[in-house]
C-alpha cells in the first residue's frame, strides 16, 4: 500500500544527506519535527545566490542589488500564494516562528490593559507560552489555558467556557510538536472572533504537512519556520492581516523600517518593511521560496497521504512491542509518534538508536506542560517526512526492540 503516491526513490535522491552513514549505519532520519532535511534544489539556490547575485537589497542602485531585491520579493510572493494571503505586504520575513510570535506579543503591549485575558492551549511549545507570559507581566493581562485530555486533544468545551468579552487574544498551535495532534483551529478562530479576540496560530508543525489557507481560516496571524519545510534555518514568515499589522507598532528599530528619520521624529515605512529592520536573511528568504516550489511540485495532498500511511504502519509496528506506550492517541494527527517503554528512560533509548544510525528526539520537546500532564520526564519522538520509507520504519522498530533488550 505504501509508496503508491509518488516515486519515493527518486525523491530520496533529491536529498544528498540521506546517503550518509552515522556510526557506521545508513542514516535513518526521524527528527523531522525538529528540522527537516534540505533538497538539492534548495542547496543549489543558496549556492547560486552567493555565487552570482549576493548584494544588499532595497537600497542599491546597482544591478546586483536590484537582482537580489527582485528575487527576494518574488520569494515573498511565492509565500503569499502558498498561504493564500490577500497581499504580499501581509507576509513579514522573520528569523522563524519564535521571532514571529515575539513580534506580535511585543506589538500587543500597547493594546492590552490590566485584567484583559489571553488564552493559550495546553499543547503549546514553549515559544508559544513564554512570550505571552512576558506580555502578561508587562500589561497585567491574565493568561488562561485550554486544558487537554489523555488522548492529547484540547478540551473544546472548556475553551468555549473560557471565552468572554475580556478575551483579547487566543494562541494555539495548528499541530502539536510533542504529540502531532492537529488542533481544531477553524473552531478556535471562529469562536474567538465572536467575542472580538484576535487569534495567532503557530503553524510551525503544520506547515510541512498541511497547506494552510489564511484567508479561508480567517486567522489574524499565522507563523512558520522555513527549516521545518525543506528550507534553511534562520528564516520564517509571519502572516498578519493588514489591519492588524497596521495597528501593531514596529518591533525593532533600524534601517529598512523607516520612512524618514530626524532627531526630532521618525516615521515608519509601509508594510511589510515596518517590521523588517536591518539587513534581512536575503539568501534564506530566497531559499524559503525555493523550498515551497519544491514541496508544491510534489504536492501537499500526496505528501499528506503518504505520511499518513507511514504513520499508520509505524504506529501498528511500534505498538506490537511489549510495554511501549504512545502518547497522543487521536485520529487527527500528523506523522509524529511520541512514545516510552515501561521502565526505560527516553534518553537511553534515543542514545542506543543513535548508535544504530537512527535519529530521533528525546526529552520534553520544549513542551514541559504536556510532559507534566502525563507525569513523565519526556518521550522518544519519531517524526516522519515524505522522504522516509517503510524500510526505515522497520529499522526504527527493530532498533527499538534491540534497545529494549540491551537496557532491560
Would you call 366 a catalytic residue per the annotation?
yes
CA distance linking residue 135 with residue 112, whole number of Å: 9
Asked if 198 and 117 count as a contact pair (C-beta separation under 8 A), the reply is no
Nearer to ligand PMP, 173 or 389 (CB): 173
CA distance linking residue 408 with residue 62, whole number of Å: 66
**Near ligand PMP by CB under 6 A, which window of 20-28, 123-131, 187-195, 297-305?**
123-131
**Taking the CB of residue 359, how many other CB atoms lie within 10 A of it?**
16
**Taking the CB of residue 14, how many other CB atoms lie within 10 A of it?**
18
* 127 belongs to the binding site for ligand PMP (CB under 6 A): yes
Selected binder of ligand PMP within 118, 188, 201, 204 (CB under 6 A): 204
On the CB side of 218, CA atoms within 13 Å amount to 11
Nearest approach in angstroms of CB 97 to ligand PMP is 4
Using CB under 6 A as the binding rule, the residues of this chain from 137 to 196 that contact ligand PMP are 173, 177
Nearer to ligand PMP, 202 or 256 (CB): 202
CA distance linking residue 336 with residue 328, whole number of Å: 9
Using CB under 6 A as the binding rule, the residues of this chain from 207 to 246 that contact ligand PMP are 225
Nearer to ligand PMP, 222 or 306 (CB): 222
Nearest approach in angstroms of CB 218 to ligand PMP is 21
Paired strand residues for 121: 146
**Near ligand PMP by CB under 6 A, which window of 3-11, 95-103, 208-216, 251-259?**
95-103
CA distance linking residue 219 with residue 198, whole number of Å: 8
Nearest approach in angstroms of CB 174 to ligand PMP is 8
* 334 belongs to the binding site for ligand PMP (CB under 6 A): no
Nearest approach in angstroms of CB 53 to ligand PMP is 27
Selected binder of ligand PMP within 58, 76, 82, 125 (CB under 6 A): 125
Question: Active site residue: 136, 172, 283, 366, which one?
Answer: 366
Give whole-number Cα distances, 162 to 146, 147, 151, in Å: 8, 10, 21
**Count of residues of this chain found to bind ligand PMP when the rule CB under 6 A is applied:** 13
**Near ligand PMP by CB under 6 A, which window of 96-104, 181-189, 238-246, 319-327?**
96-104
Residue 392, burial from CB neighbour count under 10 angstroms (0-12, 13-18, 19+): buried
Which residues form the interface with ligand PMP (CB under 6 A)?
Answer: 96-98, 125, 127-128, 173, 177, 202, 204-205, 225, 366
Catalytic positions are 366
Amino acid at each position: 500500500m505504501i509508496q503508491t503516491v509518488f516515486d519515493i526513490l527518486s525523491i530520496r535522491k533529491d536529498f544528498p544527506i540521506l546517503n550518509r552513514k552515522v556510526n557506521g549505519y545508513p542514516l535513518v532520519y526521524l527528527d523531522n519535527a525538529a528540522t527537516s532535511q534540505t533538497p538539492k534544489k534548495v542547496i543549489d539556490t543558496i549556492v547560486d545566490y552567493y555565487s552570482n547575485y549576493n548584494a544588499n537589497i532595497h537600497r542599491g542602485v546597482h544591478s546586483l542589488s536590484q537582482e537580489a531585491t527582485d528575487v527576494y520579493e518574488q520569494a515573498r510572493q511565492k509565500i503569499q500564494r502558498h498561504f493564500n494571503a490577500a497581499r504580499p505586504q501581509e507576509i513579514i520575513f522573520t528569523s522563524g516562528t519564535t521571532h514571529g510570535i515575539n513580534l506580535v506579543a511585543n506589538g500587543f503591549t500597547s493594546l492590552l490593559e490590566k485584567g484583559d485575558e489571553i488564552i493559550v492551549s495546553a499543547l503549546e511549545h514553549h515559544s508559544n507560552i513564554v512570550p505571552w507570559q512576558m506580555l502578561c507581566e508587562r500589561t497585567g493581562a491574565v493568561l488562561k489555558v485550554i486544558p487537554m485530555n489523555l488522548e492529547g486533544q484540547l478540551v473544546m468545551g472548556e475553551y468555549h467556557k473560557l471565552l468572554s468579552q475580556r478575551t483579547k487574544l487566543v494562541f494555539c498551535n495548528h499541530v502539536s510538536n510533542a504529540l502531532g495532534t492537529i488542533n481544531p483551529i477553524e473552531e478556535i478562530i471562529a469562536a474567538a472572533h465572536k467575542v472580538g479576540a484576535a487569534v495567532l496560530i503557530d503553524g510551525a508543525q503544520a506547515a510541512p504537512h498541511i497547506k494552510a489557507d489564511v484567508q479561508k481560516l480567517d486567522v489574524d496571524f499565522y507563523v512558520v519556520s522555513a527549516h521545518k519545510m525543506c528550507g534553511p534555518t534562520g528564516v520564517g514568515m509571519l502572516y498578519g492581516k493588514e489591519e492588524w499589522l497596521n495597528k501593531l507598532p514596529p518591533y525593532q528599530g533600524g534601517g529598512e523600517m523607516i520612512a524618514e528619520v530626524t532627531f526630532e521624529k521618525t516615521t515608519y515605512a509601509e508594510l511589510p518593511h515596518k517590521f523588517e529592520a536591518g539587513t534581512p536573511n536575503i539568501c534564506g528568504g530566497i531559499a524559503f521560496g525555493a523550498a515551497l516550489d519544491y514541496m508544491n511540485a510534489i504536492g501537499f495532498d500526496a505528501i499528506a497521504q503518504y505520511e499518513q500511511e507511514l504513520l499508520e504502519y509505524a504506529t501498528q509496528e511500534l505498538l506490537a512491542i511489549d510495554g511501549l506506550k504512545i502518547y497522543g492517541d487521536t485520529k487527527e494527527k500528523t506523522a509524529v509518534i511520541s512514545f516510552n517503554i515501561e521502565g526505560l528512560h527516553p534518553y537511553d533509548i534515543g542514545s542506543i538508536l543513535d548508535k544504530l544510525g537512527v535519529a530521533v528526539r528525546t526529552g520534553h520537546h520544549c513542551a514541559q506542560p504536556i510532559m507534566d500532564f502525563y507525569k513523565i520526564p519526556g518521550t522518544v519522538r519519531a517524526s516522519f517526512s515524505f522522504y522516509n520509507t517503510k524500510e526505515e520504519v522497520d529499522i526504527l522498530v527493530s532498533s527499538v526492540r534491540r534497545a529494549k533488550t540491551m537496557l532491560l
